[in-house]
Chains A and B, each alone.
Chain A
Amino acid sequence: MNNQDNRAKTECERKEDLMDYLYGEFSAEQEKSFKKHLLECISCQKEVNEFRAVSTSLKAWHVEGSPNVSLSEIVGETVKKQLPTVATARSVREIISELVAALPAWFRYSSAFAAACSLLLVLMATLNTEVRYDKNGFSFQVALFSKDTAESPTQIDKKQVETLAREMITQMVAEKQEQIKQELEIQISALNKELSEKNSAQLSRVTLELKTEQRERLQRALLELERQKNKKPSEFEDDPFNLWGSLDIKTGDRNTTNN
């Protein structure tokens, strides 16, 4: 029965015209000409009616719903960053905040301590601080204005104590600063070492991954090449627009299509 049908169709060679007519892609003149042909060609008349019925049937299948895809759903943040983006201007405050946040905690605290000591010294100098140590014990005095009285023996002692105290504090601060500096150097060197180790480990891992991936790709390409050997060359091959140029998307079932 199929063979009979096929024989009947080969009687008319205007298959492509039939498609144009059926889907309204003829110009007015071409359509007029084909309509004239239809009056004479029973084979084409039959096919027009049958294909119109098939078309009506096809329209019965509706697809409901929508996938509701979003960029964040399909693309992770990492991939998003791979696209070129315009850098936005950042304020100085933001940059400083980021810089401070990046510093290690111990560095932040020791710097704060040094700054506090310096501030204390400045304040003491400004407020005419007197630090005394005598038979009554240790005493501490602050005054907004310095006294211009004659120096008594006890005042000489006071001055000596004050100088001593100043020297002591200066020495303490210097020692602390030296200690912080040393600690900082040790930490930086340790960090450098750690970073270098991490980098080399990461580099080795990435190299290994790349090699594996390349090997897999090569295998896939070889398989694909093998598969395509017995097939007709794809029309997509010369098209740089085709992302999967090497993959044949339409010859797969060609053998079955011409039954």
Chain B
Amino acid sequence: MSEAILQSWSDSFVELSDNEIIERTLNGEPEAFNLLIRRWERQIYNLAFRMLGKEEDAHDICQETFFSAYRHLSKFRGDAKFSSWIYRIALNCCHTHLRSRSGTNLSLEQQYEDLGYEPTTTVESINETMQRGQVAGLVKKALMGLPPDMREVIIMKEYQDMKFHEIADVLGIPISTVKTRLYTGLNQMKQRLGYLKAAL
């Protein structure tokens, strides 16, 4: 019975926009915030997982993000998009986390150059000859080796399917900078994937 009530309560919120839910939360219905969590937790988790590469870290970031958002909810500007705000909080948490474990930037390119490997393999051949699971492993390694500012742009574009202007909004940078970072990031990914495949 109570579940049915909860369900109907939840259903009444489904049609509400993010901003309306925030308004309700601030006006004395803190449980309404759960709906915002449900709506955005998967995207935030995916973003954090791909930024940090570890499931438990992603989970922590996810909690930290929503905790921060909840605590600073009154600071949220109604004219902005909640998605941009929550992504920005999540990315800030990720960067803080990355700074705390400094030295984990792999700089694979340099390492494999030092070892004498040649990126003779093209990315096209990786997709053709390797199994999906193997490619996923290579991609994860290559992505983790990218500088965070390129990694986040690639993640938002490739996995979160965000438009350039949305990414620029989240990061607070010009659209042209987003495109340049993406271009450089993709180039680096191409090279890293080639090196990693050659090193197998």
Contacts and interface: CB of A to CB of B under 8 A. Distances in A.
Interface of A: 1-2, 5, 9, 15-16, 18-20, 23, 25, 49-51, 53-63, 65-71, 73-75, 79-80, 82-86, 235-236, 239-244, 247, 249-254, 256-259
A182 B96 CA distance: 62
Contacts of B193: 54, 57
A208 to B, nearest CB: 24
B190 A51 contact: yes
A20 B33 contact: no
B180 A15 contact: yes
A70 B30 CA distance: 12
B37 A71 contact: yes
B13 interface: no
Contacts of A75: 30, 67, 70-71
Interface string B33-52: 11001000110111001100
Contacts of A252: 95, 98-99, 147-149
Nearest to B93: A244
Nearest to B64: A74
A252 to B, nearest CB: 7
A83 B122 CA distance: 55
A259 B132 CA distance: 30
Interface string B143-165: 10001111010100111000110
B92 A243 contact: yes
A247 B186 CA distance: 26
Contact of A60 (B50, B139, B176, B183): B139
Q: Which secondary structure characterizes the binding site on chain B?
A: helix
B21 interface: no
Contacts of A20: 164, 179
Interface of B: 25-28, 30-31, 33-34, 37, 41-42, 44-46, 49-50, 55, 58-59, 62-63, 66-68, 70-75, 77, 80, 85, 88-89, 91-92, 95-96, 98-99, 105, 107, 109, 118-119, 122-124, 126-127, 132, 135-136, 138-140, 143, 147-150, 152, 154, 157-159, 163-164, 171-173, 176, 179-184, 186-187, 189-191, 193
Query: Which 6 A-B residue pairs are closest in the complex by CB-CB distance?
Result: A86-B28, A253-B147, A85-B28, A53-B123, A60-B135, A249-B95
A256 B44 CA distance: 26
Contact of B186 (A51, A240, A241): A51
A59 B172 CA distance: 26
A122 to B, nearest CB: 48
B179 A15 contact: yes
A67 B59 contact: yes
Given A9-B187, A54-B189, A60-B127, 18 more contacts: A1-B118, A16-B176, A20-B179, A53-B122, A57-B189, A58-B158, A59-B158, A62-B136, A63-B159, A67-B59, A67-B63, A71-B30, A71-B70, A75-B70, A241-B172, A250-B149, A253-B149, A257-B150
